[in-house]
Structure 1
């Protein structure tokens, strides 16, 4: 105590100019001293020089939208262990999945997830294990296979709307017409040319709007990225009150929020309020967080005021009770609805777009999939596939799984903090607080598991490789107690969308030499996918 008091006396005796001169030295020491103290035992592991001393290296990488690829290149250089932050070790070994994310290992989600909280913590971003178990008990039954099948007619309804819109544009394209500059479609060479990404966004948002809130956002009808957004009041969690409702581009908001939170989440907690306030890019991202909350607030208010008997995700959440028989309050209810909105729209649209790209880029695979669909659905006049008819199509499953593997919608290593007493991963002990993760993008390219051509899109590998081995390295929905609760719904949606679209149309890339450009926030997202569409005679 005497030493501390003496230090304060020394500081008080310094001039303002002297104190300013000491600030850079203090910042350097604050980063260098922990490196030598090595509280998490990570100093011996390789990685970028700056990452050994500061979280800012990973924050910079995340903010530039290429975290998964950057970390993958580091693993190719250094091997299975890479230190990507002072307290964070990336472990690129399929076996580490079973240990870092396993049931009962005591690990918790790291402080990374605090950056994704708005309104209040939801199933995705809550860190407390007991609180998460309570939420999961309430939510999990909603996404059981039986419950998901009740949603099938609604999914099929919006897929039909997408087909009708593309048919309409296709007919206009055959007449040589083109859309306005804002619409972005044109007719040429007997094909309809457009960017399919916005359309899959419209589809996914309308589906989840209907399933979660009982009414679509109307994007497919309007052919526009639009959603009502409410200004969230400070008392919302108590009384459900909110401010003015305005129309804003929901997909854009979702993208900006993902990029912001993924970058903010890797920064130290003490730094976050300052970068949010003083760095314009982060300030803009924080606005996106608030607007995204406003989408859920407006949708929940509209649904509750409608007083309908319609069974949807929100009504099932309202019926949910915890172990004490207590229902969710308005704040918690909206936070969970927001979680479903994000998860149900983002992953479906991005993956549907990526599948379309890989099929257009690989005509052989596209033709083989269409042959399978024609054999099974040849006598069905309905353009939208019935899930019961297509849920066991082996080649379609291989195509979807191969895109989930090589594209890796969720490619980053989801960070887990070692519990009190530490944890053992691949025979190595890590003390309490050490952050560990397994990068999905990298283990999806593990050559021992997937073959020497693991960087190539080739669905046939799913029939050639050892099933048990590849399943242990396949991680599109995460693993363990925090795995994606909506996996059944996502799988059903993808199967219906892809089978219906590919049975109805053939696709070619507008620029075959151009690779799919991806920008990463929390998820990896295509920036566009321009294709030529021809209607098939089925």
Structure 2
């Protein structure tokens, strides 16, 4: 008879089991690295080693908050196509803009955008909607509300906010105190959103600080949401939920998201209460949204939740992007005094000849000032408000971009902060602030490659609000006050968490003799 001990199979210890799993993980990781580096469809494109094997290279770039600088450096060193993740490349060829982002291009948004979507919405907002047909049908419902003609009819609301800003500038001029123009630009942009949407400013300008906490909420949210957006989808929820348990910053960020949700709901509740009293409804964007809901809401499924989505997006994205553009334009003007002086002369002469109204400049008047137009374009060219690639999936069947064939499903994207400095399009001095380039014979061609508001059917829906603010506020400010950087040799700071936010634009304000 066999000894029973010979048939005994020892059971593995816990330590042995973990060792076995660790070995499997090492083998899997090694196999993945070999595949990603040598056999993946994107293996032939250069880029950082860690970018080719893990999306956490991109997470690290978000943490550093200077992705646009890194991408410009890599493109200069490695060429027009760089690998920034195992399944994603960034492309600096200006011609790629039309191919990837043109209307009916077939390229679709990636899951990068889903992290930004409100959890409670029935339909994705215009920014986070991945379905092109659904996006087109939903955007059609409210598109006319954001047309330039509609926004221009609300110029008095923007003037109301500008008047408060001018009063605050007068106080700084009288006291001799310096201010951070970037911070005041954002407070102004937030109050304009309040006036345009709800017929009441949020009170940032009046208070002179972030008295509602919305700006702080966004500053907490953006780096966390942006980091989650670039990491693998299966890690996003553990990162956000797990991070909230162990990292106070993540918890504060998620709490801030609730604050923005609550702010949107509060604005709608206030308007509903006003309507319940049969009071006269203000003429603003929110009233237009309610009218849309009443007139065709049942037909197109546009109810209170959809109104709240529009308000939420305005609160979330309506200030940072505009403030970044205004800050860039003013900062670069103050750094380049010849351009500053030429623009102020043009504004003074146009005012003296009656081309610019007083007390407030109208959008149509300002947009006809050619040098102002050039300065605004140049400020947005050098510092577009979004500083990351706008990732898209290559359509099934593949596509040729920048002389290379990309298979369907891989991710590609163009970064405005990179392509806006392409010397073949914008000249050898593309890194410099030169408004005069917009008078060159090549200006019409340069215009084709401006990408600060995105492109095609996905152009930013708030573009006209932003432009109307810029063309009205900037000449108004320069007409009434002289602006100087406190330390002209010192550079501003920027933090790129999708929105590339400027700060420390320390400015001295002096009252000018009125024309």
TM-score, normalising length from structure 2? 0.90
Taking the aligned partners of 1:323 and 1:96, their CA distance within structure 2 comes to: 38
Show the counterpart of 1:352.
Answer: 326
Q: Is the 8 A contact 1:40 1:434 kept in 2?
A: no
The counterpart of 1:255, out of the listed 191, 213, 219, is: 219
The counterpart of 2:444, out of the listed 463, 468, 480, is: 468
Taking the aligned partners of 1:54 and 1:320, their CA distance within structure 2 comes to: 46
Q: Which runs of 4+ in 1 moved over 6 A?
A: 321-324
Shift of 1:164: 1.1
Show the counterpart of 2:3.
Answer: none
Show the counterpart of 2:200.
Answer: 215
Deviations 1:401-430 (A, max 9, x none): 101001121121101112333333234332
Taking the aligned partners of 2:152 and 2:220, their CA distance within structure 1 comes to: 32
Task: Return closer, same or farther for 1:164/1:475 CA change in 2, 3 Å cut-off.
Answer: same
Q: Does 1:140 align with 2:140?
A: no
Equivalent positions of 1:143-162 (< 5 A) are 143-162=146-165
Shift of 1:210: 1.5
Taking the aligned partners of 1:535 and 1:27, their CA distance within structure 2 comes to: 67
Structure 1 window deviating more from structure 2 (491-500 vs 386-395): it is 386-395
Show the counterpart of 1:94.
Answer: 94
Show the counterpart of 2:5.
Answer: none
Show the counterpart of 1:203.
Answer: 188
Taking the aligned partners of 2:421 and 2:183, their CA distance within structure 1 comes to: 29
Deviations 1:141-183 (A, max 9, x none): 1112221111111001101110012113322x1xxxxxxxxxx
Q: Does 1:285 align with 2:259?
A: no
Taking the aligned partners of 1:25 and 1:105, their CA distance within structure 2 comes to: 45
Q: Does 1:303 align with 2:271?
A: yes
Equivalent positions of 1:252-401 (< 5 A) are 252-279=216-243, 280=247, 281-307=249-275, 308-320=280-292, 325-378=299-352, 382-401=358-377
TM-score, normalising length from structure 1? 0.86
5+ residue gaps, structure 1: 1-11, 174-186, 228-248
Task: Indicate the structure with greater helix content.
Answer: 2
5+ residue gaps, structure 2: 1-9
C-alpha RMSD of the superposition: 2.2
Structure 1 window deviating more from structure 2 (359-368 vs 47-56): it is 359-368
Show the counterpart of 1:106.
Answer: 106
Q: Greater Rg, structure 1 or structure 2? A: 2
**SS of equivalent residue, structure 1 residue 460:** helix
The counterpart of 1:16, out of the listed 14, 17, 20, is: 14
Task: Return closer, same or farther for 1:74/1:256 CA change in 2, 3 Å cut-off.
Answer: same
Number of residue pairs aligned between Structure 1 and Structure 2? 488
Show the counterpart of 2:64.
Answer: 64
Equivalent positions of 1:74-85 (< 5 A) are 74-85=74-85
Taking the aligned partners of 2:190 and 2:342, their CA distance within structure 1 comes to: 30
Taking the aligned partners of 1:518 and 1:102, their CA distance within structure 2 comes to: 30
Q: Does 1:534 align with 2:510?
A: yes
Task: Return closer, same or farther for 1:422/1:381 CA change in 2, 3 Å cut-off.
Answer: closer
**SS of equivalent residue, structure 2 residue 233:** coil
Q: Is the 8 A contact 1:403 1:457 kept in 2?
A: yes
Shift of 1:32: 4.7
Show the counterpart of 1:183.
Answer: none
